[in-house]
Structure 1
Amino acid sequence: MTQGHEYFQSCLMPLPDKDLEGPSRLPGWTGRHLLSHLGHNARALARLAHWAATDEPTPMYPSTSARAEEIEAGAAWPVPRLRDFVVEEQNRLTHELDRIADDRWDAPVVTAQGRTVPAATIPWLRGREVWIHACDLPSGGDFRDFPDSFTDALIEDALDRRRGVQAVNIDVRATDRKTHGDDDIVTCVEGPAADLARWLTRGEESPRLRTGTGAPLPQLPPWL
């Protein structure tokens, strides 16, 4: 999580404020929307950390519409304020995580998607956000910069959701990793791990990806 935040900042800092006024790599979002989301996401996850530390139920958002409303409100702020906001809320999240006692890391909390997970999942949820969204900045990061261990975990996380919640019958084989895969899965996509992670989470195809049969890659619904 901390390394991902530092990577996000390394991609953000060189960008002029005017570039963040324009579109990000996420359809319909400016750079300001992206920064607003990252700051408010840290704030929301800090609520879960508080829940775990105190056993006081504090959901990520007070309503189903609150997430989108927070992002839109923050997107109207000046870019310098948004830059500071991301750092301040990351620091707040780290502080709240530090308050969780050893025997509370298994405490159940509920995500914005309604999943009940142990508090130990919170750093993963935040790490996922900062690493991936670094690649959504204008002229931002690259999945190939991610640590191998994080990329591999991200692939497994995305596959679990797509197979479980979305019932998408796919498997992958990373050609730059030890070969793995399930021959009983209908569609297997092969290619470099970074390209697989980008495709599974962003739906972005790469000429380095291919199916074992030569068929086109399946069209994936939004990941989250």
Structure 2
Amino acid sequence: MSARAHADSLTWAEHGTALFTTQVARLDEQTMSQPCALPGWTRKHLVAHVAANADALGNLVHWARTGECTPMYTSAEQRNADIESGAHRSATELTEWLNTSIQKLGVAMDALTGEQWRTDVVTAQGRTVPATEIPWLRAREVCVHAVDLGTGTTFADLPGDFLAALITDIRGKRGLGTVPGGPLPEVAAYLAGRPHSLAEVPGLGPWL
């Protein structure tokens, strides 16, 4: 786990949330139904995913607050089904779900005590982490997917300290000994498996 500060993760999650929701608010039924930057997904799929992720992380916050084991998702199949179902909602319904899920997650995180933040929870990937990891998980989702919406936001629009933390995180998860040189946004995009301008670098599989 990186040495990033809990307070920084909260700030990045807030920044990414504002970036994501501002773009979604500009989408109408037609533009939200168009493909996003992720293969096989429309923007509706992506908005449904980000809304469902807020609900899922809310389960981890509940776990931290009560000690009751509440996994993010009941199963990978259910997670995928919820996204597919959400993608068939109207743009208005999806935006309402997104905003409601964001508000609920924010209120729940604000209510956690210092001791509760130190409670161990288990991510959807099966990693046992302290609840202080939850804001970082959310920051990754909203920041990276703000780019994936394909409405003009790029990795260069994300905070530099967030990009540095993201590079450290992905490098560890991919088991990379070194990373290529280049502008921070381009290196982050490359490691995240997104379009980039780096030359002569090996291809990487999908991430997030």
Q: Deviations over 1:71-105 (max 9, x none)?
A: 01111110111011111101111111122211111
Instruction: Identify the structure with the greater strand proportion.
Output: 1
**What is the root-mean-square deviation in Å for CA atoms of aligned residues?**
1.3
Moved over 3 A (4+): none
- Among 152, 177, 181, the residue aligned to 1:190: 181
Task: Tell me the matched-pair count.
Answer: 196
Alpha carbons 1:52, 1:108 under 8 Å: kept? yes
1:80 counterpart letter in structure 2: T
Alpha carbons 2:193, 2:205 under 8 Å: kept? no
Alpha carbons 1:47, 1:59 under 8 Å: kept? yes
Match in the other structure for 1:13 = 25
Alpha carbons 1:203, 1:220 under 8 Å: kept? no
2:160 counterpart letter in structure 1: D
Q: Does the alignment pair 1:25 with 2:9?
A: no
The worse-fitting range, judged by mean Cα deviation, of 17-26 and 109-118 is 17-26
Residues 84-99 of structure 1: matches in 2 within 5 Å? 84-99=96-111
Instruction: Identify the structure with the greater helix proportion.
Output: 2
Match in the other structure for 1:171 = 178
Q: Which runs of 5+ in 1 are unaligned?
A: 164-168, 173-188, 211-215
Residues 1-224 of structure 1: matches in 2 within 5 Å? 1-163=13-175, 169-172=176-179, 189-206=180-197, 209-210=198-199, 216-224=200-208
Q: Which runs of 5+ in 2 are unaligned?
A: 1-12
TM-superposed deviation, 1:144: 0.3
TM-score between the two structures when normalised by the length of structure 1 = 0.84
The worse-fitting range, judged by mean Cα deviation, of 92-101 and 121-130 is 92-101
**SS at 1:65 equivalent:** helix
- Tell me, in whole angstroms, the C-alpha distance in 1 between the residues paired with 2:101 and 2:109: 12
- Tell me, in whole angstroms, the C-alpha distance in 2 between the residues paired with 1:205 and 1:6: 24
TM-score between the two structures when normalised by the length of structure 2 = 0.90
The worse-fitting range, judged by mean Cα deviation, of 119-128 and 99-108 is 99-108
TM-superposed deviation, 1:106: 1.2
Alpha carbons 2:58, 2:104 under 8 Å: kept? yes
Q: Deviations over 1:10-50 (max 9, x none)?
A: 22222333111111111000111011001000000000000
**SS at 1:171 equivalent:** coil
